[in-house]
């Protein structure tokens, strides 16, 4: 079987699995966030944290819950790392340095999972399982909660109430993430991923000598790292490591985990607003971009010219032979179009255009299908922008789902789409203007610039993957990328929740003959075009200096 055919067959199998899970999971999540009943274990949690799950919140109170919970999470994870040397199960590892502990704490709480350290050489069992894995669950649940709050803003009228953050958070963890993760961990263990709490032991090497390895609760952390679109690996090699991702079957299953909730949330959206066709329109937009990027990535990686590439069947540098170009291309596109950050190949070793595709996927805002929750609310923001543009074209007041898109709404949407470009381009420019950050680059020229652009794009968009050629474990990068992750995660949430509150206060407007039909293919095309044009105008100059220049020169 040719490598190209193998890649296409993997893609078709993945699409079939996602299609089978789409309706039942989407309907189930709609019921979870619409139910008035609380499970017994949830009641215990509410009692323990002192929250009343039946109290409706307006958007400022909902936002305060998000920020307060996240601030406490950052502090807890920071202290856990700083005290690691005194904790049981530390495997002899010392406490994490302050700047790196700050970077890691903000990274995992922001659902970014950027790692400037070697996991197997820095983090003990307690920090990995009691700190990092816990944040993989709750940070993902926070993203879904904010998305659900925005959906309620569209679904409700004449009220500013968006639900209860604590109830949405707990339900996301208890009813969605934990059950799927338990099943997923069993599947990964069956595929060969490890799951233990063993210490450090010596392992013989083929060429002689020995190497130190430590075990860990890898399968359970691997599944939530993908399911919650987090991306932080137990080992430095991430999902290229055979302990985390043993074979092509586990590789395809991990890609499925990355995509299943973000895609299914479009069904949840449709059910909650009372029109599944609206959900299908958003799904079609996400799927069109995702499939288009996969096709481009496979084309550039399979058909890159040169004798070495011809002999290898494509650009195999930096890729695992057990996955091949097809499995690596689908994985890299799926992770950079979501906020996952997991890697099964080194993106820095992609062709110039391949690296640019990964960069552009993050710069879209990671909305196709995006992260757990963040992808949906990011796409709905873009839908509002598209409706506004369409309204300007025909001279009508823009409407979306029966709600007017007025001055307040469009300003909030505009602020949302400006936050991450300002962080990415600002920090990248500052880094290139200083000598010390540039000394961290392994490569010079266009590729070196791409390394820094990729780092801040990944951080501000809460992705967490890296170009693998940048030494980011410095005070400058630990601090600035940490700030980019915090601001890139929580500033957009401020605008999303404020927008949700504004929409919920409106009374619905009946559709007329002049209303733009946002459930039709025409709107899907308009939305895809809006996304690509806005992103292109924002980032094209930076991309021209990095991956485009490198690709044209090769």
Highest-scoring range by mean pLDDT, 276-290, 353-367, 449-463: 276-290
Nearest to 127, CA basis, from 99, 91, 180, 100: 91
Distances (CA, A) of 332 to 167, 308, 387: 34, 22, 31
Provide the pLDDT confidence category of residue 469 given band limits of 50, 70 and 90: confident
Structural domain contains residue 516:
yes
Provide the pLDDT confidence category of residue 414 given band limits of 50, 70 and 90: very high
Check residue 184 and give its pLDDT.
97
Name the H helices within 337-398.
352-363, 374-394
For 11-58, write each residue's pLDDT tens digit: 999 999 999 999 999 999 999 999 999 999 999 999 999 999 999 999
Check residue 500 and give its pLDDT.
97
* Average pLDDT value for residue range 88-112: 90
Structural domain contains residue 9:
no
Check residue 352 and give its pLDDT.
79
- Count how many domains the chain has: 1
Check residue 85 and give its pLDDT.
87
Q: Residue 119 above 80 pLDDT?
A: no
Q: How far apart are CA 119 and CA 460, in angstroms?
A: 22
Check residue 312 and give its pLDDT.
52
Structural domain contains residue 544:
yes
Structural domain contains residue 21:
no
- Yes or no: say if 293 and 333 are a contact pair by the CB < 8 Å rule: yes
Q: How far apart are CA 436 and CA 443, in angstroms?
A: 14
Structural domain contains residue 398:
yes
Q: How far apart are CA 354 and CA 318, in angstroms?
A: 12
- Yes or no: say if 140 and 177 are a contact pair by the CB < 8 Å rule: yes
By DSSP bridging, strand 210-214 and strand 200-204 are antiparallel
Angle between helical axes of 445-460 and 352-363 (0-180°, round to 10): 20
For 294-347, write each residue's pLDDT tens digit: 999 999 888 765 554 555 556 677 788 889 888 999 999 999 999 998 999 988
Structural domain contains residue 424:
yes
* Average pLDDT value for residue range 430-434: 87
Looking at 165-169, 205-209, 514-518, which range is the least confident one? 205-209
Structural domain contains residue 300:
no
Check residue 2 and give its pLDDT.
81
Check residue 206 and give its pLDDT.
66
Q: What are phi and psi of 75, to 5 degrees?
A: -65, -45
Range of the domain at 487: 372-553
- What are 450's two structure tokens? 């791409």
Q: Residue 510 above 80 pLDDT?
A: yes
* Average pLDDT value for residue range 261-283: 97
For 435-460, write each residue's pLDDT tens digit: 777 777 777 788 888 888 989 999 99
Structural domain contains residue 360:
no
Check residue 314 and give its pLDDT.
62
Residues 6+ apart with CB under 8 A from 230: 108, 111, 112, 113, 135, 136, 139, 140, 224, 340, 341, 342, 464
Check residue 474 and give its pLDDT.
84
Q: How far apart are CA 290 and CA 277, in angstroms?
A: 20
* Average pLDDT value for residue range 244-263: 96
Residues 6+ apart with CB under 8 A from 429: none
């Amino acid at each position: 079987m040719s490598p190209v055919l193998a890649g296409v067959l993997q893609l078709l199998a993945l699409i079939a699995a996602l299609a089978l899970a789409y309706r039942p999971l989407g309907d189930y999540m709609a019921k979870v966030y619409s139910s008035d009943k609380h499970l017994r274990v949830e009641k215990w949690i509410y009692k323990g944290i002192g929250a009343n799950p039946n109290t409706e919140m307006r958007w400022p109170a909902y936002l305060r819950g998000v920020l307060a919970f996240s601030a406490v999470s950052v502090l807890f994870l920071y202290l856990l790392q700083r005290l690691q040397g005194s904790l049981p199960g530390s495997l002899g590892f010392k406490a994490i340095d302050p700047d790196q502990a700050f970077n890691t704490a903000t990274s995992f709480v922001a659902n970014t999972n950027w790692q400037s350290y070697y996991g197997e050489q820095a983090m003990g069992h307690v920090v990995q399982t009691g700190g990092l894995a816990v944040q993989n669950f709750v940070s993902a649940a926070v993203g879904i909660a904010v998305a659900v709050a925005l959906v309620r803003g569209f679904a409700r009228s004449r009220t500013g109430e968006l639900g209860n953050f604590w109830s949405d958070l707990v339900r996301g963890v208890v009813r969605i993430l934990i059950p799927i993760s338990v099943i997923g961990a069993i599947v990964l263990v069956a595929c060969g991923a490890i799951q233990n709490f063993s210490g450090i032991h010596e392992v013989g090497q083929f060429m002689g000598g020995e190497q130190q390895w430590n075990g860990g609760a890898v399968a359970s952390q691997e599944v939530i790292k993908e399911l919650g679109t987090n991306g932080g690996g137990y080992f430095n090699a991430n999902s290229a490591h055979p302990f985390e991702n043993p074979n092509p079957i586990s590789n395809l299953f991990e890609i499925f985990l990355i995509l299943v909730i973000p895609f299914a949330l479009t069904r949840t959206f449709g059910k909650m607003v009372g029109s599944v066709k609206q959900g299908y329109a958003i799904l079609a937009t996400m799927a069109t971009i995702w499939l288009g990027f996969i096709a481009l990535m496979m084309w550039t990686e399979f058909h890159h010219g040169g004798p070495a590439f011809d002999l290898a069947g494509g650009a195999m540098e930096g890729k695992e032979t057990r996955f091949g170009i097809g499995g690596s291309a689908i994985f890299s596109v799926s992770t950079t179009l979501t906020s996952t950050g997991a890697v099964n190949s080194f993106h820095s070793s992609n062709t110039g255009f391949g690296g640019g595709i990964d960069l552009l996927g993050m710069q879209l805002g990671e909305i196709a299908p995006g992260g757990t929750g963040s992808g949906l609310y990011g796409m709905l923001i873009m839908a509002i922008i598209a409706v506004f543009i369409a309204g300007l074209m025909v001279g009508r007041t823009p409407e979306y789902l029966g709600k007017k898109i007025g001055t307040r709404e469009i300003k909030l949407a505009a602020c949302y789409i400006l936050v991450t470009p300002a962080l990415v381009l600002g920090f990248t420019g500052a880094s290139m203007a200083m000598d010390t950050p540039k000394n961290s680059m392994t490569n010079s020229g266009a590729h070196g610039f791409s390394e820094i652009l990729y780092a801040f794009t990944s951080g501000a968009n809460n992705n967490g993957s890296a170009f693998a050629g940048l030494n980011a474990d410095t005070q400058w990068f630990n601090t600035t990328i940490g700030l980019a992750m915090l601001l890139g995660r929580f500033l957009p949430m401020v605008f999303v929740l404020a927008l949700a509150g504004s929409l919920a206060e409106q009374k619905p407007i009946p559709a007329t003959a002049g209303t733009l039909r946002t459930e039709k293919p025409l709107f899907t095309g308009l939305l895809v075009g809006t996304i690509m044009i806005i992103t292109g105008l924002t980032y094209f100059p930076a991309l021209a200096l990095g991956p485009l220049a490198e690709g044209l020169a090769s």
